[in-house]
Structure 1
Amino acid sequence: MDQPYLEEGEQQQEMSFVDHLEELRWHLIRSLGSILVFAIAAFLAKEFVFHDIILAPSRPDFFSYQFMCEVGQKMGSDVLCITELGFTIQSRQMSGQFAMHIMVSLVLGLACAFPYAFWEIWRFVKPGLYPQEQKNSQGAVFWVSILFMMGLLFGYYVVSPISINFLAGYQVDPSIVNEFDLSSYISTLTTLCLACAIMFELPVIVYFFTKAGLLSPEIMKLYRRHSVVVILVVAAIITPPDVISQLLIALPLIILYEVSIRVSGSIIKRDLKKLNENNS
């Protein structure tokens, strides 16, 4: 089965199914290669990665804790200042630290290489679109990458430290000491950050669904309450069992949902305007 494949700046040409698979294979190889390069760099920079990035939210001198303390002091109170976090991190398995070293390196490799990896995949998908669809999707790589990084930073600097601080200070009895396993700490941190990064893509998803005729501002407004419930449920699933963390993820998502309604509305208005201009 043949289908058109349009390279940038070239004439439309026919490519066989096997040719498409070969083209996809090389795009995937380059994408995975970029992830591997960043993962190797993160693996070699072990001290910086773990001390200054991964374990930073577990120390009172972390930027977010210092910022909250400064805000509290300007308000005339030290209640937001964190002098110590009541937990220690241990590795209880023989291969625990090595396994976490590899996992963290791969996660950082994915996060750092995401813009390029997505660009590679987009290069394969884009020629299969109609010219109008290609025009409508201009800037897709930029906005997807920006929103991904914004979500990642929001998860790292806002959601993660507050969640870690809450869980570190939570005790059912004073006699119980919080000694967290390294794998538990890292999985919590990476889950929160990656979940925020993915969920910040909501406006882009709404944009393409609106272009495809699957969404409209009216539909999103009609199901606004249902969406809020779904957002709260998702936030409860991906966050630790505390209300603060759930709200910290749910509130930005609700705001993004409202922004997405505006995005969908602007797309509908723009398309109607173009349709009226073409008919006149």
Structure 2
Amino acid sequence: MTATTPIAAPGSAIGRVSGPSLWARLSQGSTVPILLVLAVIFVIWYAFTIYLNARWQFQVFDRAGAEFTAWEFIVGTMSQDRPVLPAPHQVAVELWNTIVGQNITSRRSLVYHAWITLSATLLGFLMGTLLGMGLAVLIVHNRATDRSLMPWIIASQTVPILAIAPMVVVVLASIGMTGLVPKALISTYLSFFPVVVGMVKGLRSPEFLQLDLLRTYSASRWQAFWKLRFPSSLPYLFTSMKVGVAASLVGAIVGELPTGAAGGLGARLLAGSYYGQTVQIWSALFMAAALSATLILLVGLVQRIVLARMGGQP
């Protein structure tokens, strides 16, 4: 007699195939590592908040002449009005109050200041990208330009932006140009360099055999540029644009510092440093970081769409 294998009824424990648990699925991805890193950052942040604010808190209790417990001391270091290092929850409350709790047209709103900085960032990024692409095309197609211009482009980035920004603002103000344009030009100065380097690398990425094949078809330099060089440079271009848009935001913020502008994240940072409002400084920094991350994600989204429509790998 041969033994027969019993057939499990539908829904029975034997018939069900147990899949990986929720924790196993999360562990295989990037969710758990990211959460662990964030948890470590918050623990370190809170620890330094207690350490850096402890001196002032000791003085507060000494002047009051009151006894205190360890818990009261810890709570006190995390609830100071002008702490040396604000606690994460203080920054979160400030972000909520200045983003959600204020009208976006109010000067107390971070959205209002972020929009002023964003307008200069986008204008500077646009000018820097166009300038960088134009210089890259000249460098690749003209050997004299490559030898004469490229060293100066590299040398231009050795000058600290903090030294250039005040001069740009003062010179342009003397001829009546204030507001958006000076900040945009400073953003252009920082954003064009990565675009030049990336675009030159991309335009030179086609192999010699590919270029030789186009010559056999009697393709002109213009046709070789549009049919081969430019499509090959797009991955390099978008990668450099991600760096350029972040640098453009930095340039816009730096450009707002020497002007004493009435609006912008740079003006928000400057006002916070004048009056010792460290919570305001940190909230503006977080807003700038969120703005930079959003711009980089948007450039990445455009990259995926463009490369997918061209049939390439996004």
More strand as a share of residues: 1
TM-score by length of 2: 0.24
Which structure would you say has the larger Rg?
2
With normalisation by structure 1, the TM-score equals: 0.26
